[in-house]
Amino acid sequence: MLNHPSPLLRVQSLKTSFFTDRGEIPAVDDITFHIHEGEIVGIVGESGCGKSVTSLSIMGLIPSPPGKITGGEIFYGDEDLTKASEKRMRDLRGNEIAMIFQEPMTSLNPVFTIGNQMLETIRLHKGWNKKDSLEHAITVLKLVGLPRAEELVKEYPHQLSGGMRQRVMIAMAMACEPKLLIADEPTTALDVTIQAQILKLMKDLNERTKTAIMLITHDLGVVAEVCDRVIVMYSGKVVEQGAVEDIFTNPSHPYTKGLLQSVPDIRQQQEKLYSIPGNVPKPGSIKEGCRFAPRCYAAFDRCSVEHPNLSEVQGDHRARCFLVEEEKEEAYG
Ligand SMILES: Nc1ncnc2c1ncn2[C@@H]1O[C@H](COP(=O)(O)OP(=O)(O)OP(=O)(O)O)[C@@H](O)[C@H]1O
Ligand code: SF4
Ligand SMILES: [Mg+2]
């Protein structure tokens, strides 16, 4: 276990909303978590839970309007990024915090060749000359499994397939050796072999340079394989968090239990995979009680009127459920 001083990233009571014709959509609703240097933290939850909005908030890239950070702080070291200037954020994004976006096409510049875009990033970060930067670009493109890297650097984004563009993005993010890498579903669109290769590269980078990684994924198998800790989000809130082994051996929130049950078990022939009944509610639509109550097999009277807090399961393992709270009360009287 690493002995950590203060976290590299500390998200404190963050709230991010979108203001639309239909009113305020509280996509991220008071979340608190941290990531230490060298840690790989997984963020999981179904579609619409607020994972991407969390990462875009950290990067200072929430489209505004309609979006806005309406509360809380995002500390990167001692600096509150919610108060940083656009210039400072651009600086950080070029040097210390890199992101692999869920939609890669939007983040490559269509008018520059792949080589030129990578050169710029590498030169800015490493201060190397053109020739060395280009060589490094080609090496990293090969590392992410892209064929014909020497020719690829002369091509434009539109000449590449979606999967290839995604790998270019991953290569660019890793070439910078950032302090913090935010990877939003980085491998979902890629085939399994490439996926495994990229995850291994991310893990290598993490071990070699102590890059902290915030890994957003639907895939709990990936979490089990590469993450140290996991944060489970539901409807804009953190509902459970803890060390990966604690979450997997002792999931304490009914939502986490449901997610784990929906993972295919390769050792068993399952006729039909379990899926949590119902859908993720629209942000802000559940005004009272636990937001998971309409889908929860364990819901009882209190759940529809009161909103549960994050309670300690054990140590840093916490879950937002009355059952955890009441179990504790019973144990300690
Ligand atoms: N530009 C926007 N305008 C209005 N609402 C938005 C906007 N972007 C996101 N939202 C809302 O914020 C909520 C959280 O979205 P977010 O993209 O963070 O989900 P996610 O957890 O990343 O889901 P997925 O797994 O599908 O990527 C959603 O309900 C979405 O409708
Ligand atoms: S608080 Fe109630 S509804 Fe919410 S997860 Fe726990 S048991 Fe289910
Ligand atoms: Mg997303």
Comparing CA positions, the residue from 58, 60, 122, 120 lying closest to residue 89 is 60
109, 157 Cβ separation under 8 angstroms: yes
Pocket test for ligand 1, best of 52, 184, 279 (most atoms within 8 A of CB): 52
Q: Whose CA is nearest to atom 3 of ligand 2?
A: 293
Cα–Cα nearest to 213, from 240, 243, 239, 177: 177
For position 3, what pLDDT does the model report?
56
| Beta strands 40-44 and 229-234, pairing class | parallel
For the residues of 243-297, what is the DSSP string, one character each?
A: EHHHHHHS--SHHHHHHHHTS--TTS--SS----SS-PPPTT---SS-TTGGG-T
pLDDT of residue 105: 55
Q: What is the percent of the chain with per-residue pLDDT over 90, rounded to a whole number?
A: 67
Residue-level pLDDT at 331 = 72
Q: Residue 196 has what pLDDT?
A: 86
Please say whether the beta carbons of 235 and 49 come within 8 A.
yes
Strand partners for 115: none
Rounded to the nearest whole angstrom, what is the distance from the C-alpha of residue 24 to the centroid of ligand 1?
13
Distance separating alpha carbons of residues 7 and 127, to the nearest angstrom:
28
Would you state the pLDDT for residue 38? 95
pLDDT at residue 42, as a whole number: 98
Q: Which one of 15, 46, 53 would you pick to mutate in the ligand 1 pocket, going by the greatest count of ligand atoms within 8 A of its CB? A: 53
- DSSP code, position 192: H
pLDDT at position 267, please?
58
Task: Name the residue at shortest CA distance from atom 7 of ligand 2.
Answer: 299
Strand ranges for the chain from DSSP E? 9-20, 23-35, 40-44, 67-76, 79-80, 97-100, 180-184, 212-216, 229-234, 237-243, 311-314, 317-319
Let me know: does 277 contact 261? Beta carbons within 8 Å.
Answer: no
CA atoms within 13 A on the CB side of 295: 19
Which of 59, 53, 3, 7 lies closest to 33, judged by CA? 7
Distance CA 232, CA 18 (A): 22
Q: Does pTM top 0.85 for this prediction?
A: yes
Residue 267, classified by CB atoms within 10 Å of its CB into exposed (0-12), middle (13-18) or buried (19+), is: exposed
Q: What is the pLDDT of residue 176?
A: 80
- Cα–Cα distance, 255 to 237 (Å, whole number): 12
Q: Beta strands 40-44 and 212-216: pairing type? A: parallel
Which of 196, 202, 200 shows the shortest CA–CA distance to 214?
202
- List residues near ligand 1 (CB under 6 A): 18, 20, 25, 27, 45, 47-53, 63, 66-67, 102, 283
Note the pLDDT of residue 281: 94
Which stretches of the chain drop beneath a pLDDT of 50? 1
What pLDDT does 228 receive? Answer: 97
Instruction: Provide the pLDDT for residue 12.
Output: 98
Ligand 2, atom nearest to 254 Cα: 5
Ligand 1: atom nearest CA of 102 is 27
Which atom in ligand 1 lies closest to the alpha carbon of residue 48?
A: 19
Q: Which of 69, 123, 58, 118 is nearest to 93 (CA)?
A: 58
Relative to the alpha carbon of 65, which ligand is closest?
A: 1
User: What pLDDT is stored for residue 272 in this prediction?
Assistant: 66
